[in-house]
Amino acid sequence: MERFDVELRKVTKRFGEVTAVRDVTLQIRSGEFFSLLGPSGCGKTTTLRMIAGFEIPTSGQILIGGQVQGHLPPHKRPVNTVFQHYALFPHMTVYQNVAFGLEMQKVDKAEIAARVGQALELVHLTGMENRKPKQLSGGQQQRVALARALVNRPKVLLLDEPLGALDLKLRKNMQIELKNLQAEVGITFIYVTHDQEEALTMSDRIAVMNRGRVLQVGSPEVIYEQPENRFVADFIGETNFVTGVLQRAGLPVEIEVAGQLVQAGWLAEGVRTGETAVLSIRPEKIHLLPGSANGEAHQFGTAVSGQVERTIYLGTDTRYLIRLDAETRLVVRMQNTQVGHSHFAIGDTVWACWNPAHARVLSAEE
Amino acid sequence: MQAIIRRSPAIRAWILLAPAVAWLFIFFLAPLVIVLIYSFLERGTYGGVVWQPTLENYRRVFDALYFNTFTRSVYIAVATTVICLILGFPMAYFIATRPQKIRNSLLLALMIPFWTNFLIRTYAWLTLLRTNTGLINVTLLSLGIIDEPLPLFGNDFAIILGLVYGWLPDMVLPVYAALERLDRSLLEAAQDLYAGRWQVFRRVIWPLSLPGVVAGSMLVFIPSLGAFVTPAILGGGKSLMIGNIISNQFLAAHDWPFGSALSMLMMVFMLVATLIYFRAVNREGGAGL
Ligand SMILES: Nc1ncnc2c1ncn2[C@@H]1O[C@H](COP(=O)(O)OP(=O)(O)OP(=O)(O)O)[C@@H](O)[C@H]1O
Ligand SMILES: [Mg+2]
């Protein structure tokens, strides 16, 4: 059996009437960069706080390193947290901040000095030991918060939107630094963010949350390419949702949209033939061909015909809005691989084609 | 002239400050200077002074009778301050950690008794504490819990009780203000970094609330040291403080120069005590955020 650093088993947390986290089960592997991704208020922070011990689950179990945590207070758990607004002690210097956790664990003075030195070196803050947090920039404060947590060599580091307060450029730099740092120290990171791009670029695996539930767990590629429900497909990247009626549940899945039958490579559980369902396909997975190229279009696997309604030139690629019928539009993104070659004009009749493996039929709900 | 005023910010600032400066000079500095001068003069027979310089008043200040009262007053003021801190800190912490709405009600509840006149409230304690007819002793005696009345009145205990009662809100409010500003996530960060309850208090809550503790201690210590209403009523005429002696010199003994010398001694002592206190606190590192 695989050992997990952190395990949540059917964890639910209620605050009075509000259910912040609902029946969440997660298994986080050792050394993994694991992200909790979801919109504001979906329960990411609450999940993290339960792992840290600041909140106790209403029901369910949390295990860290195979040990059931129960009501264990935060200072007895082998995890450390990097808080959203850093929560640096304003009355202590950088050195004192970083040394705090070691002092509390009664590590001896010489070792504290050595380890604090290492930690500050790791986050490139050597020489700032005697400054107070107020005398540091946002990015530097962020690093102190990291060093203060890492110096304790926790099993697991919990990070609650650690880059949320930084400006875009610094944020991008820190993303890379954080990722490198994690690889260097080999500690398991549980990383909370509502920024899908951040989650995609940094994580080994992502859990997408909404309204207290975990909707899907997987690698960035799986989350992006194989969303299992409408929310995940919609929250990560851009996608087309086209409502239709399911015609065939076996492979290839067939669904009728805008009066035309198209194929998809995957069907969500519980959707039956004859029921309303949603076809989901990413704009860049669709290829446009002229309306005259009948045969070629069907070699792609599946195709629908429509008219170009709008084109937007974006430099690297061009976005087309394709009208299938009065209610139905498809967004298509074609790369501009050739100079001076505008593919299609408004009003052109075109085939929108795709490989069925790239399209998914999802439940119409959620 | 107007042009000069408009152009020079310094002159404008002085003009704006003038009323305040005049106020301080007339009602604060001038009386202080008068007291200082009087303390080096000889007494007039029916009050007032004779313009004859002398150091006699300062010599008398160190007479055992007065000096002992002075040291006892210091002891009472220190005890009052410490007790106010011990009682007031948890109160302030409790209030500061309640939800906003409850907080305001609690603060109001803390203030309500103080809408009544100080004298009346002190007399109310008298009816509770008096040795033979006080409510506490009468009740305990009639219930047979005690055989002899407890010495609740006419001693240092009664005075300290009265002072603590009177000045407790002056401790609670500044400490509350400091604690309310305290970021809760700092406490969680400390817990997260393996600090138990006591260490969270010692290393985070306490140093960050020190500015409030300092302000509160000053607000309690200074009026306690100079108190004369509370010892006059609850001291039962037997237990007096330096404030009573000073007021006696002016009102009863008609010895203004000696009263002035005692006042100067008290002020110098307060100044020195305050400075030492501030330095000690700064070493703790809290106030210098
Ligand atoms: N102490 C609390 N008392 C009552 N409700 C709470 C408490 N903490 C969180 N909630 C509620 O639980 C839900 C989840 O909150 P949580 O802070 O976990 O969201 P989040 O995903 O971290 O959101 P954000 O991205 O905005 O930080 C919210 O509806 C919130 O209002
Ligand atoms: Mg949050």
Q: Is the pLDDT of residue A341 over 80?
A: no
Where helices occur in chain B by DSSP H, the ranges are 2-7, 9-24, 30-38, 56-61, 64-96, 100-111, 118-129, 135-142, 156-181, 184-192, 197-200, 206-225, 229-234, 242-251, 256-284
**Which of A209, A231, A253 is at the close of a domain?**
A231
In angstroms, rounded to a whole number, what is the distance separating the alpha carbons of residues A73 and B16?
57
pLDDT for A4 equals: 87
Within-domain flag for A237: no
Q: Which atom of ligand 1 is nearest to the CA of A46?
A: 18
Strand pairing category for A156-160 and A33-37: unpaired
In angstroms, rounded to a whole number, what is the distance separating the alpha carbons of residues B167 and B220?
6
Both A271 and A224 in one domain: the answer is no
Instruction: Tell whether B192 lies on the interface with A, counting CB pairs under 8 A.
Output: yes
| DSSP-derived secondary structure letter, B201 | I
Both A189 and A284 in one domain: the answer is no
Instruction: Tell whether B281 lies on the interface with A, counting CB pairs under 8 A.
Output: no
Give the phi and the psi of residue A312 in degrees, each rounded to 5: -125, 120
In angstroms, rounded to a whole number, what is the distance separating the alpha carbons of residues A209 and A236?
12
CATH of residue A21's domain is 3.40.50.300
Tens-place pLDDT, residues A127-158: 999 999 999 998 899 999 999 999 999 989 99
Please answer yes or no on whether B186 and A87 come within 8 Å at the CB atom.
Answer: yes
Contacts of B104 (CB under 8 A, 6+ apart): none
Residue A53, domain extent = 4-231
In angstroms, rounded to a whole number, what is the distance separating the alpha carbons of residues A249 and A238?
25
> Would you state the structure tokens that stand for residue B160, as one six-digit string?
């300290």
In angstroms, rounded to a whole number, what is the distance separating the alpha carbons of residues A141 and A94?
9
**Which of A172, A204, A231 is at the close of a domain?**
A231
Both A169 and A227 in one domain: the answer is yes
Please answer yes or no on whether B191 and A73 come within 8 Å at the CB atom.
Answer: yes
Within-domain flag for A238: no
Within-domain flag for A236: no
Q: Is the pLDDT of residue A340 over 70?
A: no
pLDDT for A342 equals: 62
Lowest mean pLDDT, pick from A41-55, A166-180, B273-287: B273-287
Task: Specify whether the CB–CB gap between B125 and B208 falls below 8 A.
Answer: no
pLDDT for B152 equals: 86
For the beta carbon of residue A58, count every other beta carbon within 10 angstroms. Answer: 14
Three-state SS at A301: coil
Identify the residue whose C-alpha is closest to ligand 1 atom 10. A20
Distance from CA of A72 to the nearest CA of B (A): 12
In angstroms, rounded to a whole number, what is the distance separating the alpha carbons of residues A61 and B43?
84
Please answer yes or no on whether B190 and A100 come within 8 Å at the CB atom.
Answer: yes
- Top pLDDT among A27 and B285 is at A27
Distance from CA of A22 to the nearest CA of B (A): 24
* CA–CA–CA angle B207, B209, B213 (5° rounding): 110
Strand pairing category for A188-193 and A156-160: parallel
Residue A91 with chain B: CB contacts under 8 Å: 207-208, 285-286, 288-289
**Which of A206, A231, A256 is at the close of a domain?**
A231
Q: Is the pLDDT of residue B289 over 50?
A: no
pLDDT for B288 equals: 43
| A38 Cα: distance to centroid of ligand 2 (angstroms) | 10
Tens-place pLDDT, residues B15-58: 889 999 899 888 989 999 999 999 999 988 887 888 889 999 99
User: Between B189, B207, B285, which is nearest A83 by CB?
Assistant: B189
Both A306 and A194 in one domain: the answer is no
| A45 Cα: distance to centroid of ligand 1 (angstroms) | 7
In chain B, domain spans: 58-288
Where helices occur in A158-310 by DSSP H, the ranges are 168-185, 196-202, 220-225, 230-235, 294-299
Within-domain flag for A45: yes
- Give the position of tokens 């809100």: B169
Q: Mutate which of B181, B187, B194 to test chain A, going by most A C-beta atoms within 10 A? A: B194
> Would you state the structure tokens that stand for residue B80, as one six-digit string?
């009052």
Q: Is the pLDDT of residue A1 over 90?
A: no
Average pLDDT over residues B158-176: 95
Number of domains in chain A: 2
Both A166 and A259 in one domain: the answer is no
Contacts of B31 (CB under 8 A, 6+ apart): none
pLDDT for B285 equals: 57
Both A134 and A216 in one domain: the answer is yes
Both A24 and A161 in one domain: the answer is yes
Average pLDDT over residues B113-134: 88
CA of residue A38 relative to chain centroid, distance: 7
> Would you state the structure tokens that stand for residue A142, as one six-digit string?
């962020």
Beta bridge mates, A306: A350
CATH number, domain B58-288, options 1.10.1740.10, 2.60.40.420, 3.60.15.10, 1.10.3720.10: 1.10.3720.10
| A334 Cα: distance to centroid of ligand 2 (angstroms) | 37
Within-domain flag for A251: yes
* Whether the predicted interface score ipTM is above 0.90: no
For the beta carbon of residue B197, count every other beta carbon within 10 angstroms. Answer: 13
- The whole-model pTM stands at 0.82
Tens-place pLDDT, residues B266-275: 999 999 988 9
Tens-place pLDDT, residues A295-306: 777 788 899 999
Tens-place pLDDT, residues A72-111: 999 999 999 999 889 999 999 999 999 999 999 999 999 9
Instruction: Tell whether B284 lies on the interface with A, counting CB pairs under 8 A.
Output: no
In angstroms, rounded to a whole number, what is the distance separating the alpha carbons of residues B246 and B260?
8
Task: Specify whether the CB–CB gap between B166 and B85 falls below 8 A.
Answer: no
| Amino acid letter, residue B113 | P
Within-domain flag for A254: yes
Give the phi and the psi of residue A270 in degrees, each rounded to 5: 85, -5
Please provide the average confidence, as pLDDT, over all residues in chain A: 91
Percent of chain B with pLDDT strictly greater than 70: 96
Both A178 and A281 in one domain: the answer is no
CATH of residue A345's domain is 2.40.50.100
pLDDT for B118 equals: 87
Lowest mean pLDDT, pick from A31-35, A273-277, B88-92: A273-277
Q: Is the pLDDT of residue A257 over 80?
A: yes
Both A65 and A98 in one domain: the answer is yes
Both A87 and A216 in one domain: the answer is yes
Nearest Cα neighbor of B126 from B166, B99, B153, B88 is B153
Q: Is the pLDDT of residue B151 over 90?
A: no
Please provide the average confidence, as pLDDT, over all residues in chain B: 89
Q: Is the pLDDT of residue A200 over 80?
A: yes
Tens-place pLDDT, residues B196-251: 999 999 999 999 999 999 999 999 999 999 998 999 999 887 778 999 999 989 88
Per-residue pLDDT band for A171 (boundaries 50, 70, 90) equals: confident
Per-residue pLDDT band for B1 (boundaries 50, 70, 90) equals: low
Both A18 and A94 in one domain: the answer is yes
For the beta carbon of residue A114, count every other beta carbon within 10 angstroms. Answer: 11
What is the CB < 6 Å shell around ligand 1?
A: A 15, 18, 20, 38, 40-46, 194
pLDDT for A291 equals: 85
